[in-house]
Amino acid sequence: MHHAAYVFDAYGTLFDVHAAVRRHAGEIGPDGQLLSEIWRAKQLEYSWVRTLMGGAYADFWQLTEQALDFALRKVPSADPALRTKLLEAYWRLDCYPEVPAVLKAIKASGAKLAILSNGSPEMLGAAVKSAALDQILDDVFSVDAVKRFKTDPSVYDMVVTGWRLYPGAVSFQSSNRWDIAGAAKFGFRTVWINRTNQPDEYRDFPPALILPSLEGLLAGG
């Protein structure tokens, strides 16, 4: 752990995006996992499409709602009456079990810590509080400040501008391979947290390190 700054993606990296559906799996029925995957895929698709259109920003909470509405229509076995419960669960997502200890250890080493996320400030504030990470993080950077989503370079630039650092001084951790590609292109040192053993992609923008969870960061990675 020799980097001055550690920046973490939020959803999928610190917080389990599928926890919302899992919490209500009994009520949703057999297609819960499918519903969760469509919800997540559409949420991200909407963020990319709006950013590419230019001037079409809607915050991540709106995209999360729109994506769930699509998923509920696409998966007819899931009861649309669960919409409110599922959305509420998004404000209290579980963090992955190793997260608090790893973040505390990095903080104790003297490094700065932040989240850099597509999430709206309100969503991130709630998730951070719910996981009791508010005392550990130095900053929470939301794309809402630049009104564009990852992988737009202006998103990654918020960290180097805000902290007056060169990109190479930042270790950036994300479970999303596309996010790692964008951050690597920007110049961050990247660590892909490949939690679900996905095949590699974007091979011209490789991560410096691939880990199955955040725990490997403590091994001096």
Q: Which residues are catalytic?
A: 9
Non-local (6+) Cβ contacts of 59 within 8 A are: 120, 144
Question: Is 78 strand, coil or helix?
Answer: coil
C-alpha to C-alpha distance for 58 and 140, rounded to whole angstroms: 19
Sequence letter at residue 206: P
What is the C-alpha radius of gyration for the chain, rounded to an integer number of angstroms?
17
C-alpha to C-alpha distance for 177 and 76, rounded to whole angstroms: 30
C-alpha to C-alpha distance for 164 and 162, rounded to whole angstroms: 6
- The two tokens of residue 202 are 């974007």
C-alpha to C-alpha distance for 123 and 173, rounded to whole angstroms: 20
Bridge partners of 208? none
- The two tokens of residue 61 are 């909470």
CB environment 101-117: b (16+ within 10 A), e (fewer): ebbeebbeeebbbbbbb
